[in-house]
A and B are shown apart, each in its own frame.
Chain A
Amino acid sequence: DAGVTQSPTHLIKTRGQHVTLRCSPISGHKSVSWYQQVLGQGPQFIFQYYEKEERGRGNFPDRFSARQFPNYSSELNVNALLLGDSALYLCASSLASGVPYEQYFGPGTRLTVT
């Protein structure tokens, strides 16, 4: 079975631009979460979606937004990019929302903002 897939793998953007990252969950999983991992740190929670509804939001500015589609795939959008947005963006899927459903991570999208 295919795991969590993310696209693109790498991305280079300029400050002020907009970016869209995509995630396809494991088949049968209805929940998708997004994390930001800055170099040298642990991942930080951005969003969780379950059944197309936002179920959790981390401490990130409104420039960050996301949505989940009827097929449970998800997009993360970041507007007005800053240098500090350079990071590895990880998507994780789980069967449902809440404990104790474990999360399975994709390979990530590495975003570089210049």
Chain B
Amino acid sequence: AQSVTQLGSHVSVSEGALVLLRCNYSSSVPPYLFWYVQYPNQGLQLLLKYTTGATLVKGINGFEAEFKKSETSFHLTKPSAHMSDAAEYFCATYTGTASKLTFGTGTRLQVTL
């Protein structure tokens, strides 16, 4: 069954530094992969998605992720962190034939001055 694993429950970076949030997937078929962001006391917002085609996916707010089949990874990056990026980030994949999203455990990003 398809699943995702997020490495690191908490990541802290300085403002202006590179953001790297890690996600590895487990799938016997080509996966559909997503990154969502959740700000405090809010729902989930889609940052970007990988379905097929180009392996480097650009999303909103300057985030991007690269699908690497050889490493079974879909890490999320942003060249320069802003204070407003502080939030919880979830990697997710579709499981089964229905639109069932399976989420990772989340990574809380802290941005410091």
Q: Which residues of A contact B (CB under 8 A)?
A: 4, 31, 33, 35, 41-45, 48, 50, 55-56, 58, 90, 92, 94, 97-108, 110
Nearest A-chain residue to B105, judged by Cβ: A42
The 29 sampled A-B contact pairs (Cβ below 8 Å) are A4-B43, A33-B99, A33-B100, A42-B90, A42-B103, A42-B104, A42-B105, A43-B90, A43-B101, A45-B95, A48-B98, A48-B100, A50-B98, A56-B96, A90-B43, A92-B44, A94-B99, A98-B98, A99-B94, A100-B94, A101-B99, A102-B34, A105-B36, A105-B43, A105-B45, A106-B43, A107-B43, A108-B43, A110-B41
Given known contacts A99-B32, A100-B51, A102-B34, is B99 in contact with A43 (CB within 8 Å)?
Answer: no
**B98 interface neighbour in A4, A92, A97, A100, Cβ under 8 Å:** A97
Residue pair B100, A58 in contact (C-beta under 8 Å): yes
Counting contact residues on chain B (CB < 8 A from A), the size range is 20 to 34
Residue pair B46, A107 in contact (C-beta under 8 Å): no
Give CA–CA (A20, B87) in the complex, Å.
29
State the total of A-B contacts with C-beta under 8 angstroms: 70
Nearest B-chain residue to A93, judged by Cβ: B99
Give CA–CA (A41, B107) in the complex, Å.
10
